[in-house]
Structure formats: structure tokens, C-alpha cells
Amino acid sequence: MREADLYIRVSTDEQADKGYSQRDQEDRLRKYCEIKGIPVRGVYIEDHSAKSFKRPEWQKYLTNLRKSKRNKTSTFVLFTKWDRFSRNAGDAYQMINQLRTLGVEPGAIEQPLDLTIPENKIMLAFYLAAPEVENDRRALNVFHGMRRAKKEGRYMGTAPIGYVNKITEDKKKYIAPHEFEAPILKWAFEQIASNSFNTEQIWKKVREKAKGKGRFSKNNFWVAVRNPLYCGKILIPPYKEEKGYFVKGQHEPIISEKLFRDVQNVLDGRKRAIKPKIVSTENLPLRGFLKCPKCDRMLSGSASKGRNTYYNYYHCTSSCGVRFKAELVNEVFIKQLQNLSPKEGVVDLFIEAFIKNFNDRTKQQNGERSNIIAEIDTLNKRYQNALLKNADGEMDFEDFQEVKKLTKGKIENLERRLNELAQIGKEIQDLVASALKKVANIDRRYEKGNIEEKRMIIGSIFPEFLVFDGTQHRTTKINSAITLIYQNTSKLRAKKNGTNLNFLDLSQEVIPLGLEPRTHTLKVYCSTS
């Protein structure tokens, strides 16, 4: 006697939208078996989508079939409709063939088909294709709806790290900066743009700042630093003949477009790194900046345990045996750093001279601004004339729309360029004034700063590596701005004291590279004492 297994499936959205009920399906299937006199062997109930057959209960059913194959018992698997069985026609045909090899005949009690009749396969194709078409249409509608919303500048989906989902009073969804995550993420962007530490180290600092809060996993962080969403842009991906492009988002940006571009330049390697990017301890701030005076390798740093305390050393990892007490190296560096503090008033003079020089060099920019403003006025007049002609009937509406499109587009581009020119000048002046004033007491800032601030100061002043010979630090290059400030300081001091301080004695000799590799004996150092 043939038995039947009952398969009952309903997805959550279907139960909510259409009122499907698992109990109702089971009741109808049992009544059908009772009328037909078919014993019920097993019941399989689940809440999963029918887009594929990777469903827990269905896989369990197949496993049971394979185990009971030895009994050679021919059975049915019954369901109410074919869309309970599958919503994918291709997968459904394959599964029907697989069931038949196991001696099982699938059947829908409300859409009965005798599959031994060839013509009924047409109806089976319809029953299986209809739900798949419904799924595809629903998915396509959702896709186009979301794409339209993106084109309007709305972010769709769960808010990424740094943002939170919110709803307006009129039930419109939007994203807003997260009170806790947004400031930390902004700090991370600024740190990457400064290029003082690598991104891995910055992520670890972010985790420390978050103290276990927020969504600062490594994957989230890496995705975030590449996402233009944070500077107010939303990507419209390419689709068919339409190319991908960016639109201005309706959400509030966390960072500026300039900062985002700077970060991308650093991540893509287009911005020269301040080397080395090495995490160090408070007692070894110069670790990673020192080279061995004998073998030219990088000096490492470590602590050796004495009888009562630890002693820190900078040492070479090769067999040359170079080893310096960290306390001595650090003290000498601070004393040499004190010589970099300019005389009072020099920084203000330098800022004034720099801004004057900058203004002289930006005359061309000012001229360009004037030309842009004049061109914008001309385009506005052209648009006004076209508007009047259209109103008086002297210009066709289509011609007017074309003129409007062209002029408005050009005006927007010119205004964007004008805004960039204005921001460049202001940003540079503010940046120079703010940055150079910090140089005045560079030695005290270094001594009072934490390890991160110390290493930023070292990397900013000395772009090349330092070499300690036991008494002083030497380097082949120093930051040009520091050099200019110091030269001014030296001249002022020389006039006052009648002496010439050879503080940096920067060598003007240049070693020609030619076609031959440079040897260690050709190095020219500049002393920082």
C-alpha cells in the first residue's frame, strides 16, 4: 500500500501578506489523504523561502528517503500547491527527477496533474513558472524602487558604521551621524590622511577609543575608509546601458570631499608615506627612525631586565654589535631638538612672509576667479534672454529647455570651480598659521606629548632616517620649512651676538646618482647639533 509524506511550507512574508497557515495546510492535506485512503507516514513543516531546495526540513526529508530506499516502498510527497514545492522551475524539474529515482511521486492536491500524460507537462511548466515570474517581478520592482531612491540621494538599507537609521514624522526613513561612532570615524579619516601611521595601527587606535563599543570590526573599518558615503556621495552602480556615477546624498556628511580624496590617495599609494610607521613604547620613541652607524640597518629597541628594574636599549639586529642606552639617545635628541625652537617673533615673521608670497603667487588664481565670475554673469544673462523669448513666443519650448540645460550645467560647473578656488586660499592660510605656531615650542611639545605625538613630530621634521654616533644625531635631510625658520633664527641671533651659529650646517653638496649604485662611503650627513 502506498503511503504519503506531507510537506508544508510557508515563508514569513507570505504568512503576513497572504494569510498562509501551516495548520491550515496540514488540515487540508490530512483530509485529502483520509478521503483517498492514503496513510500518512510523515509530516515535514518549515518556514523557508522556496527559491531553492536548501531548506532544513526538505534536506531532512531527502535523507530519510535515501535511508528507507531499501524498503522499496513507493510513496507520495503531497503539498497544497506547486508553489509550496518550489518557486524555481529549473530546480523543480531536477528535484522531480531525483524524487522519481527514489520511488516518490510529487503531487499538489489543489493543482492535480497526471504527469504520465505528456500534455500535462505544459500545465506543470505553468504552475512552476508562475511563482518564479512573480518572484522575479517583485525583485525587479524592488530593485528599480531602490535605484530611484538612490538617484534622489537617499541611502537605502541598514545604516553603515558611523550612521544610524532614523524616521521623520511623516514616516520617511533616513540616516544621521551616530553620536558615538561618527566622531571616532572622522578622527580615523584624519589620521589616515596625515599618513603618520599605517591603517592597521589606526584601526587598533580606533578600537582603543571605542572601548568595546560601536561596530568597529576590521572589515567594517576597511569598507568605511573606501566608502564615499561619508563625504556625502552615493554611488549609482552601472545598469544595462546606463553608466555608474555619483549623486549628492540627502544625508549629512561626516567628512569633507577633500579629506576623503586625501585618504584615497594615501590608501592607493599616491601620497608619499612618512616612514617608518612603527608602533613603539614610551621609552623608545625613536625606534624605527634610527639607522645603524656601522651596517646601515634599522636599529630595533628592547628592554633588558636588571636586578631591580628594566633598562631600555636601541640596538642593531646584525652581528655588528651596535648598542646604545635609550636614555642617552633620547636625552641627546631632546637637546638637539631644543635648538630647533626659533627666536621669539620669527614664526610670526615667517607666517607673514609666507602669506605675502602666497598672495603674490595666487594672482593668477584671483584672475581666474574674476574670469569665472564674468562668465557666470554672461551665462545668467543668456538664460534670462532665453526665458523672455520663450515667454514672448519667440523661442520654442524645446529650444528653451536645451538652452536652459546647457547654461545651468555650465553655471554649476563654474560655481563649483569658484568655490574650490576660494577654499584653497583660505585653507592654506589657516593651515600655515595654525601649524607653524606649533613649531615655536617644539621641544616642550615633544617632551609633554604621548608616544603618538612624539613620533608624529619626529616624522614631520626628519623625513629621512637618523643616525646616532654616540654623541649626536645626524640626518641627510630635514623638513624645508624648519630649515627656513631656523635660518631666519640664526640670522637674527648672529646680528645680536655677532656670532654665526652653525646649527644645521646643511650641506649643499649633491651626490650624483649616475648609472652606478651609491656606496656607503659617499654618504653626506648634516649634523643636528
Q: Write down the residue that cell numbers 510513496 correspond to.
A: 75
Task: Retrieve residue 355's grid coordinates.
Answer: 602669506
Using one digit for the tens of pLDDT, what is the confidence trace for 419-444? Answer: 766 545 555 666 776 666 666 677 78
Distance CA 459, CA 446 (A): 12
Decide if 272 is inside a domain: no
pLDDT at 529 over 80: no
Closest CA to 189 of 247, 231, 234: 231
Examine the domain organization and report whether 315 and 263 are in the same domain.
no
Do 311 and 417 fall into the same domain? Answer: no
pLDDT at 438: 66
Kindly state whether residues 332 and 406 are assigned to the same domain: no
The partner residues of 458 in beta bridges, in order of sequence, read none
Average of pLDDT values for 456-473? 84
> What's the mean pLDDT in 69-81?
75
pLDDT at 194: 87
Q: Is 147 part of any domain? A: no
Q: Is 258 in the same domain as 385?
A: no
User: Are residues 101 and 220 both part of a single domain?
Assistant: no
Number of neighbouring beta carbons within 10 Å of residue 383: 18
CA–CA gap between residue 337 and residue 276 (Å, rounded): 19
> What are the pLDDT digits (tens) for 373-391?
888 888 888 888 888 888 7
What pLDDT is stored for residue 417 in this prediction?
Answer: 78
Tell me, yes or no, whether 305 and 452 share the same domain.
yes
Q: Which domain holds residue 375?
A: 346-437
Q: Is 373 contained in some domain?
A: yes
Domain final position from 437, 452, 468: 437
Q: What percent of the chain has pLDDT over 90?
A: 20
Cell of 68: 528507507
Average pLDDT over residues 4-12: 85
On whether both 427 and 456 belong to a single domain, the answer is no
- Whether residue 156 is contained in a domain is answered as no
**CATH number for 85:** 3.40.50.1390
Q: Is residue 157 part of a domain?
A: no
pTM, whole model, 2 decimals?
0.42
Same domain, 334 and 447: yes
- First-residue to last-residue Cα distance in the chain: 103
**Residue at 516 is within a domain:** yes
Q: How many domains does the chain have?
A: 4
260: pLDDT strictly greater than 90: yes
**CATH number, residue 218:** 3.90.1750.20
The H-or-E segment that residue 235 falls in is strand 233-236
In this prediction, residue 162 has a pLDDT band, given cuts at 50, 70 and 90, of very high
Tell me: do 424 and 451 sit in the same domain: no
